Structure 1
Amino acid sequence: MQAVSDMTNDAAQPSAPVIRSRPLAAAIILFGGFIALVVFVAVSVMFGAADIDWMTVWEAIFRFNPDLTAHQIIRELRLPRVLGGAMVGASLAVAGAMMQGMTRNPMADSGLLGLNAGAGLMMAICFAFFPGLSFMTLILYAFVGAGIGAGLVYGIGSLARGGLTPLRLVLAGAAVSALMTALSEGIALYFHIGQDLAFWFAGGVAGTTWEQLGLMAPWVAGALLAAIMLSRSITLLSLGEEVAAGLGQRTGLVKLAGMVVVLVLAGSAVAVVGAVGFVGLIIPHLTRYLVGVDYRWIIPCSAILGSLLVILSDLAARTINPPSEIPLGALIALLGVPFFLYLARKERRGL
């Protein structure tokens, strides 16, 4: 009888689901992507409105001479810009991957779900009513704005009968983003701060300083580490909330922690780069296609690939039509909009 009881209890326990992953592909992406990242950081520092040879770049980094103009350009302009782009790309890509995993919404992205627009509205309020705030304070306000935007989107999307669905979430995100963007532009016109916000809305890493990187780096590093620590839990959530709960997952706590990490990553990135969308939409899908559905691989690989996307896009923005620059947000949108339409069509077919 005891044996029968033990067998019954074992059968009642939910078995761990089989999670498809490709560790070899992930290892190749991490190793090869890191090497590519170093190479393209160097290339991006070399090329721009004024091309600089690699020897000058090496000397500017390791034997800096403040009297040389080329060294000043590399150390004070291009290097912080490229490193800022790498951090922003990693932040947006990981934030998008976590949002897609936690909500099981393939179209989740910080730009599509109101986080960017919320942070933008808070930037407009700060520029209009609290000029002269430190960059650290602006980051904190960006966190608050991103949280308000996300809360409104999730709240409005949940009001309809039948609860929150991927389509309702995207529609609510579009409506809330449009409203917040309109409010931001109204504040900019009324208080004559349009020039201050114009660059932010266009999106770009030009003008990134070492001081900004120093303030941003601890937030991003801590949030990326937390994302990796949550990766196994997000993998289980991506299989379904019932499955995760059946395996002993405290789904509410995981979602809360994950949302805090997303707000830190998206808020930090948006405060530096402005309204750049679609990085968190494109990269997680590409990563899942390459490495499978295990977020223990998706999150670090997304960080590498997101950094590469922003660095290469910024390099293209500077070199396509020198000395003029194409807005980074517009350039990435050329990739993101067709990809979004493809996903929307695919989701419609699945209904």
Structure 2
Amino acid sequence: MDNATSGDMDSNTTSDNFGPLLFVLNYSTLFVSIVIIFCEIAAVFILQRCKRMLPSSRILSTSFILSDAAGAFLFAIHQILILVCGINNDVTHNSRILAVGTMLTVSWASVASMSLERVIALKVNIKYNINASKLKIYLLVSFIWMANVLIVTVAFLLGFQHHCSSALGICDLWKASKAGRFAMMSLLIFYEIILVVSYVIIHNIASRHEKNILAPKRTFGQSKSNPETLTQRQYAATVTILKIVLAFMLLHAPIVIHLFVFESQVSLRNETLRRIFHALSYLCIQINSFVSVHLYVAKFDECKLYFYLTLSRIFKNYGDQAEELRVKVYDIVLSTKTEQVRMQSQLPEVSVCTSVNDVSTTVS
């Protein structure tokens, strides 16, 4: 949410407080947001090609990455309006709060749903596999987007209606946006609770599974009857999702802390320390965008394969790495053209050696 309010950029008085530091912070966050947009668009493109990845995880992950990219895009647009076009007023600042803050709630909801989906899949594996479908996941994603956008927008409009009077021409946008900010804060706290609880459950199941691998004591029948038994594919996806959720919670913790302080201590709104902490909180959110993309590409072998194949169009040395990874992903034996030529060139030598051995054996 505070992608939107990026503390140091709240009012015209900020320039007087920060000077060159404000300039660097504003343009740096704008540049990083643009980089994030391109990286996450590429990540979505690669993610859609990972057909061996669990469909539910792929769809919810796509929702998370797209909402994060949308938040970066909206933030960049508002920063351009403020910094380049000079439209630096309460309207643009509060619009930034509403637009980017809403996308942040969607991101949190997507990650929380992804984590909760893993809990359900691991606790009731058989029933989940029977009843789960792509349609249901797509409906869940649609509900996540519509519900969050609707809740925040309605709260903002109600606050606007209560604090603004068109007849008198009076409108305190800061007070009017308070209801919207409160709605976003409530949603984030709700999703934070889901994330923490589901993370603990998934971590415990994954830990038990790892212990069973290191010291297997169960019979085949006991393992099959246990609903929490994981296949190698499920385990790999679960561990990666654990890392994504953990990174998300840690790097978004500063913004949650800021929300509590900011909304409970309004007098600190223009304090220098609060603005610096706010800027660092937003920096953590941007770092999380890169960390998440890295985890998807680095930890899912199939995604890494298509990433290497994409890079091989520009950098030829990634082609050989992609071929090696293809064997690992699809569990097949493949050979490049170079290897085929080398093998063909070695065939006559093998046949000659074989003939000599046969002759020597016969003579003896």
Q: TM-score, structure 2 length as denominator?
A: 0.29
Q: Which has the higher contact order (CA 8 A, sep 6+)?
A: 1
Q: Which has the higher helix share?
A: 2
